[in-house]
Amino acid sequence: MGETTQFGLALDGFVVAPDRPTLAEVLGGADAYRARFTYHRDCFDWADSLISEREADDARDVVLVVEAGRPVGMMELVLDGSVLTIALLVVVESARLRGVGMRAVDRIAAAALAARSITAAPFIDALAIGVEMQNRSARAFWERIGFVEVSAVGSGVARIANLERWLAANPDEQQAGL
Ligand SMILES: CC(C)(COP(=O)(O)OP(=O)(O)OC[C@H]1O[C@@H](n2cnc3c(N)ncnc32)[C@H](O)[C@@H]1OP(=O)(O)O)[C@@H](O)C(=O)NCCC(=O)NCCS
């Protein structure tokens, strides 16, 4: 298992660079989404594909979401300037609707805010996510946790909405939802 920093952010509570069996175990617990993702990316082995993409690109990484010592989900993070994109968030089916996804995103937001006081770390303005038109439930989740649509690409069923959650200048404002 890897260190707990990525892009200069302290990602405590996550495991950076998870090993292949653990990744496969989490993905095995999210069968429906894995099938769709695999089709979408035109690849046959989701874990292999994610690991090799990560190894090929220093700007992205996969982290495991861990709660009570158990891997319950995974996230793929991509840093582009001052925007941190959550390119993927998946929670195992047995752990859904219990706040795991929301807490994971909140922890990323908190890590991004905390990194502002570290000179060498990136100054992150916003978290971003792209949601397929057909993934209505995911959209409901992102909107529920404060993401708003800022742009979109494509049309009809191929439409992908880009949603963002701004990180307030002041953590007190963030907590108050200002
Ligand atoms: C989307 C996903 C990550 C949500 O994770 P989760 O841990 O189940 O979500 P949480 O329990 O943290 O939910 C947070 C809030 O969002 C709401 N929410 C979560 N999933 C929802 C759904 N399918 N439909 C409507 N609202 C939903 C919850 O009700 C909760 O709101 P509440 O506090 O008012 O009850 C999870 O369902 C998943 O892995 N889906 C498959 C992969 C996927 O589509 N990822 C997103 C790609 S863009």
Residue 66 pLDDT:
93
Tokens of 125: 């303005």
Give the domain extent around 43: 5-176
The number of folded domains in the chain is: 1
pLDDT of residue 70: 93
- Measured in angstroms, how far is the CA atom of residue 102 from the centroid of ligand 1? 8
Mutating to test ligand 1, I would choose from 40, 63, 72, 97 the residue with most ligand atoms within 8 A of its C-beta, which is 97
Tell me, what's the pLDDT at 121? 86
pLDDT at 2: 52
Give me the pLDDT at residue 123, please: 92
Taking the centre of ligand 1 as the mean of its atom positions, its distance from the CA of residue 142, in whole angstroms, is: 7
Closest CA to 104 of 12, 36, 1: 12
What is the per-residue pLDDT for 126?
97
Q: What is the pLDDT of residue 38?
A: 65
End-to-end CA distance of the chain: 37
Chunked into runs of 10 residues, the chain (178 residues) has average pLDDT values of: 76 84 85 71 64 74 89 92 92 96 96 90 94 90 97 91 89 55
pTM, two decimal places: 0.89
Any residues with CB less than 8 A from the CB of 50 and at least 6 apart, and which? 23, 62, 76, 88
Contact yes or no for 115/122 (Cβ under 8 A)? yes
pLDDT at 167: 94
Please tell me the predicted confidence (pLDDT) of residue 151. 96
pLDDT of residue 44: 57
Quick one: angle between helices 46-56 and 31-40, nearest 10?
60
Distance CA 151, CA 149 (A): 6
18: enclosing H helix or E strand: none
| Pocket flag, ligand 1, residue 29 (CB < 6 Å) | no
Check which CATH number belongs to the domain holding 91 and give it.
3.40.630.30
Question: So what's the pLDDT on residue 4?
Answer: 79
- Per-residue pLDDT at 92: 95
Distance between CA atoms of 66 and 48, rounded to whole angstroms? 21
